[in-house]
Amino acid sequence: MVFWILLILLTRELHLTYGHPVHISRGTTDDSELCDSTINNCRTLFDIVWGCLATIFACTWVALHQNVPDRNRSWLSLLLRKLMMMLVTIIAPEMVVALACRQLISALRISKKFNISRTHGFFCTMGGFVAQEGYPIARLKQLPAYISAIRNVEEEDITDRSKGDALSKGVALAQGLWFITQCMARVSQHLPVTELEVATLAFAAISILIRSLWWWKPLDVQRPIAVARAYGTLDPPDQVSEASQTGVPLWKHLDNMVSATYGQYPNYHVIPSTSVPAFWTMEIRALDTHKFWHSGFITTTTLLCTGAIFGSIHCMAWGSIFPSGAEMWIWRIASVYIVAFPSLIGCTAACSILFRLKADSWVWQILLVFSWITCPIYIVCRLVLVVLSFTTLRALSSADFVDVSWSKYIPHF
């Protein structure tokens, strides 16, 4: 509720911005009228673009806490893997938030169940522990046989493999907060905020949530830790049903893609794998069925709310002056759709649960097809907003080049 009130107030201030006496029509890029001889009172187009790109990079590339990859993958393969995750974060950041939320829930449940630290719990759910035979300990049913060896691994040994500590994560988090502060200061001083800055503001807000959920998760671990089995025989290979190999219907492929958002891969088999998938999260169904559905509700709610918040921030530019009327309406329509899309998916999921629809029922398949028809439109809207964020920079007003006067908040003595 506090977020929505703040958003309404900021949107109202943005509308008032363009009635400010210093604002002039779009397309006038001569900033000499508004900037005095002191260079600190002005900013250039390069400053705007560079500040936004650096923040987006920190919110997408640096903020990603990937699962432990295969030890035999080349550096190019690892680079492409992270670039793919970065692309997913740019197009659908709520999927990454849902992954982070579910991994946090799994890590906390595992930590409490087996009396290990939260860092150990995260390391389990991200595929950080492997058996001596090389396959990951990725199933909850595997943990009892390895838990004594996992407890013998010091938490410092896990954090030592991480590429980030509390200080570095705090600095990266502060960068996003600093960008948000700058945008709020511009609104407070009735200075316009460019569309690129509005889009970057959305990434900065989502990045804070991602970093908070992944605070105890080790960053960019490249090598797993091998642990010995305390008892029992070798883990049996997962059985691959014949139906999973032949004649898989289209809705099943779509259902698997949706399951991946929650870290579940129905067709993933631990043996003979050497790592977990990028969106993998250790299952917690075996701990408590009631808590399993409770965590699923939390993850779904987080996903839908994150998508709505992400789109709502783009709606802050509703009253901005665009270079053309077509660009203005395209921005508005895309922003509204991004806000409405999570509600459509939420209603679909609610209908399936309320009427207890089975996966092979024709009603479920209709709802599933409807969901996956709207998904491409959502992706197009996200890409359109990214493109418009840069194309609108071709015609900025002089007020856009006026920098924030921090002396109004911190006077010089």
* Tens digit of each residue's pLDDT (9 = 90 or more) over 152-181: 999 888 988 888 777 777 777 788 888 998
Question: Given pLDDT bands bounded at 50, 70 and 90, which one contains residue 238?
Answer: low
pLDDT exceeds 70 at position 120? yes
State yes or no: pLDDT of 243 exceeds 50.
no
pLDDT of residue 245: 39
Q: Is the pTM of this model over 0.95?
A: no
Range with the largest mean pLDDT of 4-8, 230-234, 353-357: 230-234
pLDDT beyond 60 at 64? yes
Question: What percentage of the chain reaches a pLDDT higher than 90?
Answer: 15
Q: What is the pLDDT of residue 332?
A: 93
**Burial tier of 271 (Cβ tally within 10 Å: 0-12, 13-18, 19+):** middle
Q: What whole-number distance in Å separates Cα of residue 376 and Cα of residue 30? A: 40
Instruction: For residue 136, list its beta bridge partners.
Output: 130
Neighbours of 391 (CB within 10 A): 15
How does the average pLDDT of the chain come out, rounded? 77
* H helix intervals, 92-194: 93-114, 118-125, 143-151, 155-161, 166-188
In the three-class reduction of DSSP (H, G, I as helix; E, B as strand; rest coil), residue 130 is classed as strand
Question: Is a pLDDT exceeding 80 seen at residue 187?
Answer: yes
Q: Number of H helices and number of E strands within the chain? A: 13, 2
| The pLDDT value given to residue 237 | 58
User: Higher-confidence residue: 218 or 271?
Assistant: 218
Per the model's pLDDT, the better-predicted residue between 370 and 179 turns out to be: 179
- Contact at 8 Å (CB) between 67 and 102? no
55-91 CB burial, b ≥16 within 10 A, e <16: bbebbbebbbbbbbbbeeeeeeeeeebbeebbebbbe
The residue ranges of every structural domain in the chain are 44-233+251-395
Residue pair 27/323 in contact (Cβ under 8 Å)? The answer is: yes
